[in-house]
Structure 1
Amino acid sequence: MFDGLYFEFPKLLFLVFFFIACESLCKMRLQSLYFPHTQQFAKSSISSSKLLFLLKWLGIVMLILALMSPVKDETYELEPKNGYEIALILDASQSMQAEGFDTSNANLNRFDVVKSIVTDFITQRKNDNIGLVVFGEYSFIASPLTYDENILNRIVSQLHIGMAGKYTALYESLAQGVNLLKMTESNSKVAILLTDGYSTREIDKVPFDVALDMAKKEGIKVYPIGIGLPHEYNRAVLQEIAKETGGVAFGASTARELKQVYEQIDKLEKSEIKNESFTYLNYYYVYPLFTALISLMLYVFLRNKRGKA
């Protein structure tokens, strides 16, 4: 238990000398009465005085140890998993509000259908380290890479249309997906880019060739998915992204086709990802603090009861 234990504030140990000096120089003066023939009572009070002395200094020393904050570095390792590191890049622009994409429920808009299918996809990819990027006028990382499917699905459920603006910064979203994946050590990096529109030239701050070069440099395989009718999204750009990065471009005009696309991507080959380790501080100041409180409480109780300093 005590292996690797150390103090965050070891210099506070010098407080001991302050209390020793106070014990010698700051003796408490009490009013006293003189009684003759008190020697017979002296012996009975010696043992109680020693106990009070022990309790007082035990409390002081334990209190100082608690202030010094004893801690220990605890290491936690995630088990190695076989899978991909995947960036899910989702279009949340205003055009995703179009309804009729799901023939079984025409009242659902495109984004509702996408959220449902992406949630199923995340649930099936239990061994993958998955992150989430959302884009509209700008792009942002909604979730860093994680194996926790429950957290991811909870985040997906809270996404809504227009949360990143109503226009489409398509190339910036690809660059953001690269930023999400470039710090990882896996050799198997995949970005699944889903959109239903064209890049808005006035809004998209990252040029297409720059975003594409970033993905190629990091060895990221991109699977672009265009949803809606073929003329609603830039099919040529999506095909070029897939070709240059070694991925495959898909199109889906209905919810059923989109589900089949994700099922195809789900058949990706597996590769090993190195296990991750985390270190956190485990604090042990509670134990000396508790001992100090008990000791000082007993000291005060016995001193008041027996009238001994």
Structure 2
Amino acid sequence: MLDSFSFTYPLFLLLLPLFILSALLFKQEKESYYMPHFYQLLPHANKKHYVREILKWTMFTCMIFALSDPIITKKIKAVKSNAVDIVLALDTSDSMSTYGFNEKKYKQSRLNVVKEVVQNFINSRVKDRIGLVVFGTTAGIASPLSFDKEAQKNIVGNINVGVLGKSTALIDGIVSSIQLLKNSKSKSKIIILLSDGEDSASKIPLEFALKLAKKYNIKIYTITIDKSYSDMMKVIANKNGAKNFEVQNKEDLVKVYKSIDSLEKSELEYNTLSVHEHIYFYFLIISLSCAAALLPYVKNRGVL
């Protein structure tokens, strides 16, 4: 879409009225011979004269326009996404093999239910980078921050109970998650920590983990599957301006991830960029074409 038309050197346009004024004031004097009825003998002379004048003034005008450097300025709306960097920290301790979390599929383990819900959550965060951390007796990074949602869903699908031991190194899992986020340039950095038990194996104190999260401006949402172990999870969430969620079944878990999804939305910024297109070349081509068309007149008459 054409938004504006302008010239880089508009002062050159003053040459056009100067040429017109010169043509009016300083006409070439020619020798004249009176020959009655000679005009009738040359019916095309007047037509050729007009063609020559049109070519001449088109050449001058386009030449001056080319010197003035005409520009077309287009306004383009650019969209910048302020994505959220999210780390999903998942408990893989032995207690996650417990049945009954999904009332419709009683023999589906807690972890398998969590995997299914987390995969759907990953699908919903199209514009965001997501990282994965799992913890049992130790904590480990399953995936760095990435936009590759299909790869992350495959990783989640292959996580098994006890992959990192039977115990629960919950605080170590928080610190591993912070390691993924600490160098992030995103305005919004969050950890979604899911567990069904108290910490029983971490080597890092909770106070240190919370100070580290605060230092890097990271919010920690906590999801507690068993209410009896919710005290520590509440402390973790409240200290970082986030929220603790308690869930009893799959339906609760789905609602929690949807709630977090609505709380942590990616923002879109709209910026307008100005793109300048220099079009002097087109006027130059027209001017040179007119000059070439005038060559026969110059050869025959010696003047324009």
Taking structure 2 as the reference length, the TM-score comes to 0.61
Match of 1:167 in 2: 167
Alignment of 1:247-286 (within 5 A): 247-267=242-262, 268-271=264-267
**Cα distance in 2, alignment partners of residues 165 and 112 from structure 1:** 17
Q: Name the SS for the 1:144 alignment partner.
A: strand
Q: Name the SS for the 1:189 alignment partner.
A: strand
**CA shift at 1:80, angstroms?**
5.4
Q: CA RMSD in A?
A: 1.4
> Residues 104-157 of structure 1: CA distance to partner in whole angstroms, max 9, x if unpaired?
100100000000000000001101100000000010110000011101001111
**CA shift at 1:270, angstroms?**
2.3
Q: Name the SS for the 2:259 alignment partner.
A: helix
**CA shift at 1:225, angstroms?**
0.4
Match of 1:135 in 2: 135
CA contact (8 A) 2:87 2:177 kept: yes
Matched-pair identity in %: 38
**Cα distance in 1, alignment partners of residues 158 and 176 from structure 2:** 20
CA contact (8 A) 1:188 1:271 kept: no
Match of 1:304 in 2: none
Q: Name the SS for the 2:179 alignment partner.
A: helix
The alpha-carbon distance between structure 1 residues 272 and 178, as it changes in their structure 2 partners (threshold 3 A), is: farther
Match of 2:223 among 218, 222, 225: 225
**Cα distance in 2, alignment partners of residues 215 and 237 from structure 1:** 15
Q: Name the SS for the 1:167 alignment partner.
A: coil
CA contact (8 A) 1:143 1:152 kept: yes
What is the aligned residue count?
A: 190
CA contact (8 A) 1:171 1:206 kept: yes
CA contact (8 A) 2:82 2:187 kept: no
> Structure 2 counterpart of 1:147, which letter?
F
The alpha-carbon distance between structure 1 residues 176 and 115, as it changes in their structure 2 partners (threshold 3 A), is: same
CA contact (8 A) 1:85 1:181 kept: yes
> Structure 2 counterpart of 1:222, which letter?
I
Alignment of 1:1-309 (within 5 A): 81-200=81-200, 203-228=201-226, 230-231=227-228, 233=229, 235-267=230-262, 268-271=264-267
Taking structure 1 as the reference length, the TM-score comes to 0.60
**Cα distance in 2, alignment partners of residues 150 and 206 from structure 1:** 33
CA contact (8 A) 1:93 1:136 kept: yes
Structure 2: any 5+ residue segments left out of the alignment?
1-78, 270-304
Q: Name the SS for the 1:102 alignment partner.
A: coil
Structure with max Cα Rg: 2
The alpha-carbon distance between structure 1 residues 146 and 81, as it changes in their structure 2 partners (threshold 3 A), is: farther
Q: Name the SS for the 1:266 alignment partner.
A: helix
**Cα distance in 1, alignment partners of residues 113 and 204 from structure 2:** 28
> Structure 2 counterpart of 1:165, which letter?
G
Match of 1:47 in 2: none
